[in-house]
Amino acid sequence: MTRRFVLALTLVCTALFGSVAAAACAPDRVDLRGPWGQARFSVELADTDESRAQGLMFRERMARSSGMLFIYDAPTEPYFWMRNTLIPLDMLFIDPQGRVSHIHHEAVPLDETPIPGGPNVLMVLEINGGQARAFGMKVGTEIRHPRLDQSRALWPCD
């Protein structure tokens, strides 16, 4: 009887903790951490030329804990602009290890001035303008996402 109980408990714990670990990363979520604490954003992916070109254009609002994650096939030196973008945005430029390498705070709606991301950028997270400062996010903040190479990620999913 005790052996069955231990086996059943082990199976329940494995199922429970396995699902929690799997829930730590999902394509539609980005987790961020740093000395300031942690945050989680629900994200839409922009991982094709078409979706990256469209971005958040023509949106009149975005939920507080939402964003858009631009993902490139290889590290690049991206430039952004705010053409047809109606809401102010913070842009977090992320290297292949999942480290924020540059933050552009409060990009001005409809401004077509190029916003450079710097070299070696694999992802860009756009969130509502002012949120990066409100959380205290800085260069060096780490992100967790399944599309990062998990063997190189500073904060892997597993």
Q: List pLDDT tens digits, range 31-86.
A: 999 999 999 999 999 999 999 999 999 999 999 999 999 999 999 999 999 999 99
Summarize pLDDT for 99-120 with one digit per residue, the tens: 999 999 999 999 999 999 999 9
Architecture of the structural domain at 27-144: Sandwich (2.60)
User: How far does CA 103 lie from the centroid of its chain?
Assistant: 13
Give the end-to-end CA distance of the chain in Å, rounded to a whole number: 34
Using only C-alpha atoms, the chain has a radius of gyration, in whole angstroms, of 18
Q: How far apart are the C-alpha atoms of 148 and 155, rounded to whole Å?
A: 9
Structure-token pair, residue 53: 């070109």
What residue segments make up the domains of the chain, in order of their start? 27-144
Beta strands at 89-94 and 79-80: parallel, antiparallel or unpaired: unpaired
Which tops the pLDDT comparison, 16 or 136? 136
Q: Name the residue with tokens 């409809």.
A: 110
Distance CA 76, CA 127 (A): 20
Mean pLDDT rounded to a whole number for the chain: 89
pLDDT at 4 (0 to 100): 44
